[in-house]
């Protein structure tokens, strides 16, 4: 993909020249695409695979004509967004499809082996053609978004081969773009597009994309396109420092899944006090929001409160005792958080070395 702007114009000009040449050849009665026994032409009606979607046979690399197609079948007009296809109709793929469509970047195709997910995606994203296999989708689009679980990305990429002029990105917050290299051919690009959003509910996720950070990767040209795509869904694109992606993603996991684990521990202790989950969230939620507000306004260290900042070993011992009795599986989580709190309190000068050591001795006996 030499340039997105003007890409369609160059292709149409080349197609016009080819059409004139082919017309002259056809007038001479020469068939450039003979049909082998039992075969069909590439532009004939396609056979249908599972789920009723068109099936495209892909030639092996070593077969004559394996590199015969130089561009996808559908191209965007100059200045328009690229023709998009999404592989994966789970939470992330479907939310991105809805958000892109609403943002004026139409999604032309979706690929998923799950018929129910394909149908749901099609019902939510107007104009999206559903395919059972991603190989068929590649024939139809310019920009391929791989929105499958991290562990499946390499296998999906290994089963695909792009055409010149196409780009492929994945939505993993951990993996580098080079996991997509098996799908590359001359004139193709790879990258990544990772929204820092919790995709637990479709509409909430689409709404959360507005103002969300979206980490993008790719060469300068592809990154510029992905930045525009981030704007289309309401997000803010950022480019991560080399080698920082795993740390960036680990922090995201703590902020999302890690925080949910902490909420679950809070709810478990709330049950000891007679609260159900809704009650625990109603009581402790405002305290969580206040703490986050303090951290934003004052800084993380200054926002720290509680017994660790005061060196209150008696309170710590009482907490550990009741945890061992009523919620023993919460003890390691509480202790790990307390260790971090002690370090923060020391760093801001709230604890003497002696007080910190006293607190740590209680923690050491708890786990």
Q: Spell out the per-residue pLDDT of the chain, length 367, in tens.
A: 333 443 333 344 444 444 544 454 345 443 333 333 333 333 333 333 333 333 333 333 333 333 434 555 678 888 899 999 999 999 999 999 999 999 999 999 999 999 999 999 999 999 999 999 999 999 999 999 999 999 999 999 999 999 999 999 999 999 999 999 999 999 999 999 999 999 999 999 999 999 999 999 999 999 999 999 999 999 999 999 889 999 999 999 999 999 999 999 999 999 999 999 999 999 999 999 999 999 999 999 999 999 999 999 999 999 999 999 999 999 999 999 999 999 999 999 999 999 999 999 999 987 7
Q: Cα–Cα distance between 87 and 170 in angstroms, integer?
A: 9
pLDDT at 62: 34
Q: Kindly state the tokens that stand for 158.
A: 């290994």
Q: In what order do the strands lie in the sheet with 189-195?
A: 129-131, 107-111, 84-87, 143-146, 167-170, 189-195, 213-217, 236-238
| C-alpha of 229 from chain center | 13
CB 185, CB 138: distance < 8 Å:
no
pTM of the complete model: 0.78
Going 114 to 190 to 100 to 9, the CA torsion angle's sign is negative
DSSP designation for 198 = -
pLDDT at 366: 79
CB 142, CB 74: distance < 8 Å:
yes
Q: Cα–Cα distance between 365 and 7 in angstroms, integer?
A: 67
Q: Which of 105, 99, 102 is nearest to 81 (CA)?
A: 105
CB 107, CB 125: distance < 8 Å:
yes
DSSP designation for 201 = S
């Amino acid at each position: 993909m030499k340039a997105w702007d003007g890409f369609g114009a160059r292709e149409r000009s080349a197609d016009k020249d080819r059409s004139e040449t082919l017309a002259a050849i056809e007038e001479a009665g020469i068939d450039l695409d003979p049909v082998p026994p039992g075969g069909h032409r590439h532009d004939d009606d396609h056979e249908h695979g599972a789920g009723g979607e068109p099936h495209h046979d892909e030639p092996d690399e070593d077969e004559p004509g394996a590199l015969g197609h130089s561009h996808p079948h559908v191209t965007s007009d100059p200045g328009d967004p690229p023709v998009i296809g999404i592989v994966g109709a789970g939470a992330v793929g479907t939310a991105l499809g809805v958000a892109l469509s609403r943002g004026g970047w139409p999604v032309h195709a979706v690929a998923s082996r799950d018929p129910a997910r394909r149908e749901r995606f099609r019902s939510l994203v107007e104009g999206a053609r559903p395919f059972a296999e991603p190989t068929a989708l590649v024939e139809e689009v310019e920009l391929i978004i791989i929105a499958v679980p991290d562990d499946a990305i390499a296998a999906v990429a290994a089963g695909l081969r792009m055409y010149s002029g196409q780009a492929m990105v994945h939505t993993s917050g951990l993996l580098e773009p080079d996991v997509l290299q098996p799908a590359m051919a001359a004139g193709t690009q790879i990258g990544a597009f990772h929204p820092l959003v919790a995709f637990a509910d479709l509409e909430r996720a689409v709404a959360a994309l507005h103002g969300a950070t979206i980490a993008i990767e790719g060469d300068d040209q592809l990154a510029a396109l992905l930045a525009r795509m981030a704007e289309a869904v309401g997000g803010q694109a950022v480019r991560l420092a080399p080698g920082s992606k795993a740390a960036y993603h680990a922090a995201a996991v703590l902020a999302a899944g890690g925080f949910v684990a902490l909420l679950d521990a809070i709810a478990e202790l709330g049950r000891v006090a007679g609260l159900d989950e809704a009650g625990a969230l109603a009581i402790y939620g405002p305290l969580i929001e206040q703490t986050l507000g303090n951290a934003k306004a004052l800084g993380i260290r200054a926002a720290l409160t509680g017994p660790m900042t005061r060196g209150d070993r008696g309170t710590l011992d009482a907490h550990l005792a009741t945890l061992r009795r009523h919620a023993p599986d919460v003890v390691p989580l509480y202790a790990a958080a307390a260790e971090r709190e002690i370090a923060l309190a020391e760093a801001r000068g709230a604890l003497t070395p002696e007080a910190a050591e006293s607190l740590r001795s209680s923690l050491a006996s708890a786990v």
